């Protein structure tokens, strides 16, 4: 039995739907299509799959997806909470199932009508009945109802502490857009963003302007995960999971961890970084490219610091130096355009892109691709993983 | 929801309307005249002599009485027959709307309009409007529901065919979202309640705190074991594990730890922009609130604040912070 | 009533506030003065059938009030050349429409005034009115 998850599992198939603003189909149709595409991509048939894992927020039951796709019997069905924090956590679930021999092939998926259906930008309301409603009620009466407003609170304090400026945030939005312009799957394919477009866009929640906020998308994504032994017999070079971990840190709240002494860092993401670097034996210097969760531009800053690509407070300098660009940057980041400019599939499109980077098939493929970092939602219990070439 | 095939059919039918005039040009029944101008000015509270006083208007740059510019469209309104409604379509615009209504896009909402005025209208001018369906958007998801934005453009000309101005008007024709939760029927009236801020659900762990707000106090929970203060309230002390607690009243004095100014989206029941504030209270805990009595451009991290209990019109009470003079 | 000269206007100038008590007379009278006989503007039952508690102001009246607000400030000889209007929630009898305005641009003899109208439902109207002033 393995004592660590290092190299125990491999992403061997990726699938997605078209990304649109109005799919015209059910979320189950999107999930089924994404899962089926991932299975096809791996060169498998649905009956090979024996585990399914997704987000707690996903409306597509594992058993409904299994029936719809013709998967048959399954030995694992699991869900992870906390919004986008689940993105790489579902890969973590799958990796544990593969490493322990619980399953042979697990599909991790996420599908949503995020634009034509329930829109997260429309905020939480008193109508949702969940166990954490009391938590949200410490914010709702004062009008903090949307993810943008919660993230803006951290961002404002961060900018105050470290002197980051609006134009620094803009570098993130512009870098993502420059990548999306070359990606036919991206909503902003061939639609560049100028510095002026960025800085004159309407203010959403200060200091976040329109293009600091991700899109809302209808679409789905799925990945197939199996063991290295099985992966070697499959169609595509696999993306081997060097390390994968999740963390919720002390005084954690969902999106509103406002009561820590210092609200300008992400202790949960620091812990994910520590775990996956330790597991993989790698460090920031070994990471060739990254998919960093970008529901908002500013959260890329926090994560660059958590993963040690720069010192705390210095992300503003790191992004100003063109380091995020696939064209010769130190850390080509979100080569698909990210959630800001490709699509918002709750971070799972980032796992698909991470796999493409390892395969060498990104629309903005950098030369070096030995190791790729992929992270999940920010400000919530979260997760991350490092992919490498199959050995 | 429509099948993909039905939707394709619908879209083919509606997009065929783009570029079509809604009907033949329509000339207003009455030329520009003083009685209609006076009636307009009465309702709007207009007192400008250029609209109302022939003697004074003669000396104005217009050289005589003119109609208020915003009245332009009024000269070509259909008037009385509008009260019958348009269940039976009377022009191409109505036919377009009906196609959508029949497909479930029952709602209609004016969203914006733009007008340009080439000159002011003088007494005796006869106004003709030529209206075209200029644009229909792709299907969009909006707060009201999924639908299509339809833009019409009217060009206004005078009796000599010279342009007086133009107007675009955009409506959303949409499938209404699930109706809002029914208004409470306590008072027996079937009227929707006036929007108010979202209220917290009341549970064991928080209702006492809100009750204290109603009594005019900002409370901070205090552990019965180690006396550590904590906020927001929770049932157990994370430091010592005690489930005993009481509360102390906060002075409301604090400083601003961080904030955001919320501009968008704008929810009913709140006044925008909102200055959302995270306040370091002098007792040592942090509290979420908002700031009033301060221009949002003047808000600064570190500014001194004073919390007070604010009561909404509906009786709901909560702490709100104001800038504090440090000399106090 | 005198008309403002262009040179006396600076970007950022706030217009005097205007609060308008919305009455049934204003809603119905404004609709009829603009020859808008759509039932929801004069027939409470028709408005209630659309889910609103009472008759609500038509767009022409809102525009008329916005226009009056700007020319009351600019003076009778200011010439309104255009207006862009974004529509918000309804305005009904018993509510107060709080109209506020600010000069947002002044260029080449023309001034753009941004006008907002709010009531207890929130934003009713946001408009940009362009007026030409003498004395450029």
Domains of chain B: 4-28+87-176 (3.10.129.10), 207-323 (2.40.50.840)
Instruction: Read off the pLDDT of each residue in A117-143 and give the average, rounded to a whole number.
Output: 71
Nearest to A154 by CA among A306, A311, A263: A263
Closest CA to A151 of A208, A200, A82, A199: A208
Q: What is the mean pLDDT of residues B65-69?
A: 96
> How close does chain B come to C28, measured CA to CA in Å?
9
Percent of chain B scored above 90 by pLDDT?
Answer: 67
* ipTM of the modeled complex: 0.96
- The average pLDDT across B262-285 equals 93
On chain B, the residues whose CB falls within 8 A of the CB of A159 are none
The average pLDDT across A326-355 equals 97
Whole-number pLDDT of residue B42: 96
Confidence of residue A25 (pLDDT cuts 50, 70, 90): confident
- The three-state secondary structure class of A190 is coil
Query: Which residues does chain B have within 8 Å of residue C20's beta carbon, measured at their own beta carbons?
Result: 45
Element (H, E) at A174: helix A166-180
CB B296 within 8 A of CB B261: yes
Instruction: Lowest mean pLDDT of A292-296, B143-147, C58-62, name the range.
Output: B143-147
Q: Give me the mean pLDDT over the A315-328 stretch.
A: 95
- Quick one: pLDDT at residue B184? 37
Q: How far is A31 from chain B (nearest CA, A)?
A: 18
Return the biggest CA–CA distance within chain B. 90
| CATH top-level class of A10-117+214-389 | alpha beta
User: What are B6's two structure tokens?
Assistant: 């039905």
- ∠ at Cα A222 (A300, A332), nearest 5°? 30
Half-sphere exposure of C33 (CA within 13 A, CB side): 32
Looking at the partner chain, which of C37, C52, C87 has a beta carbon nearest the beta carbon of B79? C37
Give the per-residue pLDDT at B1: 59
pLDDT at A128 over 50: no
More confident position, A3 or A266:
A266
pLDDT for B222: 95
pLDDT exceeds 50 at position A129: no
Q: How many CA atoms lie within 13 A of A139 on its CB side?
A: 25
Domain ranges in chain A are: 10-117+214-389
Is B85 part of the contact surface with chain C (CB cutoff 8 Å)? yes
Q: Do chains C and B touch (3 or more CB pairs under 8 A)?
A: yes
- Quickly list DSSP for C21-79: E--HHHHHHHHHHTT---GGGT-HHHHHHTT-SS----HHHHHHHHHHHHHHHH-TT-E
Please tell me the distance from the alpha carbon of residue C43 to that of residue C37, in angstroms, as a whole number: 10
Q: Which residues of chain C have pLDDT under 70?
A: 1, 136
Selected catalytic residue, list A19, A105, A211, A293: A293
Average pLDDT score, chain A: 93
Q: Is B265 on the interface with C (CB under 8 A)?
A: no
**Interface contact B146-A153, CB threshold 8 A:** no
Distance (Å, rounded) from C-alpha B70 to C-alpha C30?
12
pLDDT surpassing 80 at residue A376: yes
Residue A19 bears catalytic tag: no
**Chain B, 16-45: which have a CB under 8 Å from a chain A CB?**
none
Q: What is the rounded CA–CA span in Å between residue A307 and residue A312?
A: 10
Mind listing the pLDDT tens digit for each residue in A131-167? 467 788 899 999 999 999 999 999 999 999 999 999 9
Highest mean pLDDT range out of A206-215, B104-113, B138-147? A206-215
What pLDDT band is residue B268 in, cutting at 50, 70 and 90? confident
Where are the strands (E) in A171-281, listed by range? 203-205, 208-209, 218-226, 239-247
A204 contacts in chain B (CB < 8 Å): 263-264
The band of B189, judged by pLDDT with boundaries at 50, 70 and 90, is very low
Q: Would the CB atoms of B141 and A160 count as touching at under 8 Å? A: no
Query: How many cross-chain Cβ pairs, A to B, lie less than 8 Å apart?
Result: 127
> Where are the domains positioned within chain C?
6-132
pLDDT over threshold 70, residue A305:
yes
Q: Does domain C6-132 have CATH number 3.30.450.40?
A: no
The C-alpha atoms of residue B231 and residue B281 are separated, in whole angstroms, by 11
Instruction: Collect all residues of chain A within an 8 Å Cβ-Cβ radius of residue B2.
Output: 24
In whole angstroms, what is the distance from residue A378 CA to residue A375 CA? Answer: 9
pLDDT for the residue B326: 65
What residues of chain B, 299 to 318, have a C-beta less than 8 Å from chain A? 301, 316, 318
Residues contacting A328, CB < 8 A, separation 6+: A322
Phi, psi of A306 (to 5 degrees): -60, -40
Q: What is the 3-state secondary structure (H, E, C) of B267-301?
A: CCCCCCCEEEEEEEECCCCEEEEEECCCCHHHCCC
A22 neighbourhood in chain B, CB within 8 Å: 138-141, 146
End-to-end CA distance of chain B: 62
Using CB atoms, which residue from C1, C42, C82 is nearest to B117?
C82
């Amino acid at each position: 039995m393995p004592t660590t998850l290092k190299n125990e599992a491999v992403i061997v198939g990726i699938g997605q739907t078209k990304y649109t603003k109005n799919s015209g189909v059910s979320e189950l149709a999107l999930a089924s299509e994404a899962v089926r595409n991932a299975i096809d991509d791996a060169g498998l048939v649905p009956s090979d799959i024996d585990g399914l894992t997704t987000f707690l927020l996903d409306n597509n039951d594992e058993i409904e997806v299994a029936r719809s796709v013709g998967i048959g019997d399954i030995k694992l069905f699991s869900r992870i909470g906390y919004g986008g924090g689940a993105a790489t956590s579902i890969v973590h679930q799958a990796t544990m199932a593969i490493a322990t021999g619980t399953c042979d092939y697990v599909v991790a998926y996420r599908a949503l009508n995020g634009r034509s259906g329930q829109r997260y930008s429309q905020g939480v309301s008193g109508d949702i009945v969940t166990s954490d409603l009391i938590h949200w009620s410490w914010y709702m009466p004062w009008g903090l109802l949307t993810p943008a407003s919660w993230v803006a609170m951290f961002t404002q304090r961060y900018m105050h502490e470290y002197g980051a400026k609006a134009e620094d945030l803009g570098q993130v939005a512009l870098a993502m857009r420059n990548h999306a312009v070359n990606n036919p799957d991206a909503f902003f394919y061939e639609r560049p963003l100028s510095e002026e477009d960025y800085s004159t866009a309407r203010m959403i929640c200060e200091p976040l302007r329109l293009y600091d906020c991700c899109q809302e998308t209808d679409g789905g994504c799925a990945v197939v995960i199996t063991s290295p032994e099985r992966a070697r017999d499959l169609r595509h070079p696999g993306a081997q999971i060097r390390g994968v971990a999740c963390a919720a840190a002390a005084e954690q709240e969902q999106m509103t961890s406002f009561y820590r002494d210092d609200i300008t860092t992400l202790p949960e993401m620091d812990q994910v970084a520590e775990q996956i670097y330790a597991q993989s034996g790698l460090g920031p210097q070994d990471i060739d490219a990254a998919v960093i969760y970008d529901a908002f531009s500013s959260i890329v800053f926090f994560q660059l610091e958590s993963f040690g690509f720069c010192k705390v407070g210095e992300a503003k300098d790191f992004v100003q130096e063109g380091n995020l660009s696939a064209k010769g940057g130190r850390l080509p980041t979100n080569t698909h355009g990210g959630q800001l400019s490709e699509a918002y599939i709750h971070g799972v499109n980032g796992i698909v892109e991470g796999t493409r980077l390892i395969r060498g098939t990104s629309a903005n493929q950098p030369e070096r691709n030995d190791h790729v970092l992929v992270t999940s939602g920010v400000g919530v219990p979260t997760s991350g993983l490092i992919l490498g070439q199959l050995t | 929801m429509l099948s993909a095939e039905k939707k394709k059919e619908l879209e083919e039918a509606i997009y065929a309307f783009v570029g079509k005039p809604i009907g033949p040009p329509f000339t207003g029944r009455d030329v520009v005249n003083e009685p209609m101008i006076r009636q307009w000015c009465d309702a709007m509270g207009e007192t400008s002599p250029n609209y109302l006083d022939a003697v004074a208007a003669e000396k104005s740059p217009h050289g005589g009485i003119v109609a208020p510019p915003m009245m332009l469209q009024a000269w070509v309104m259909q008037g009385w027959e509008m009260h019958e409604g348009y269940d039976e379509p009377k022009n191409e615009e109505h036919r377009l709307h009906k196609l959508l209504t029949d497909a479930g896009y029952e709602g209609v909402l004016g969203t914006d309009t733009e007008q340009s005025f080439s000159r002011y209208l003088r007494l005796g001018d006869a106004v003709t409007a030529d209206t075209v369906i200029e644009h229909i958007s792709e299907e969009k998801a909006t707060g009201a529901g999924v639908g299509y934005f339809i833009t019409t453009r009217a060009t206004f000309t005078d009796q000599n065919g010279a342009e007086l101005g133009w107007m675009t008007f955009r409506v959303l024709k949409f499938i209404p979202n699930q109706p809002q939760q029914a208004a409470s029927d306590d008072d027996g009236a079937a009227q929707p309640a006036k929007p108010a801020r979202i209220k917290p659900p009341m549970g064991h762990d928080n209702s006492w705190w809100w009750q204290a707000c109603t009594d005019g106090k900002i409370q901070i929970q205090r552990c019965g074991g180690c006396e550590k203060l904590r906020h927001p309230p929770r049932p157990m002390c994370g430091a010592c594990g005690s489930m005993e607690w009481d509360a102390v009243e906060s002075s409301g004095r604090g400083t601003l730890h961080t904030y955001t100014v919320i501009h968008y989206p704008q929810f009913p029941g709140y006044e925008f922009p909102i200055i959302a504030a995270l306040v370091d209270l002098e007792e040592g805990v942090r509290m979420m609130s908002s700031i009033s009595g301060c221009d949002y451009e003047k808000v600064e991290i570190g500014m001194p604040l004073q919390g007070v209990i604010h009561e909404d019109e509906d009786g709901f009470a909560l702490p709100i912070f104001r800038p504090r003079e440090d000399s106090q | 009533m005198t008309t403002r000269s262009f040179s006396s206007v600076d970007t950022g100038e706030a217009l005097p506030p205007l609060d308008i008590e919305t009455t049934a007379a204003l809603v119905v009278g404004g609709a009829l003065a603009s020859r808008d006989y759509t039932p929801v503007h004069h027939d409470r039952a028709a408005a209630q059938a659309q889910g609103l508690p009472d008759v609500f102001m038509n767009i022409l009246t809102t525009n008329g009030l916005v226009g009056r607000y700007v020319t009351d400030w600019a003076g009778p000889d200011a010439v309104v050349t255009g207006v862009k209007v974004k529509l918000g929630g309804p305005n009904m009898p018993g509510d107060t429409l709080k109209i506020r305005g600010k000069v947002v641009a002044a260029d080449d003899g023309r001034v753009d005034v941004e006008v907002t109208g709010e009531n207890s439902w929130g934003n009713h109207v946001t408009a940009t009115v362009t007026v030409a002033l003498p004395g450029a």
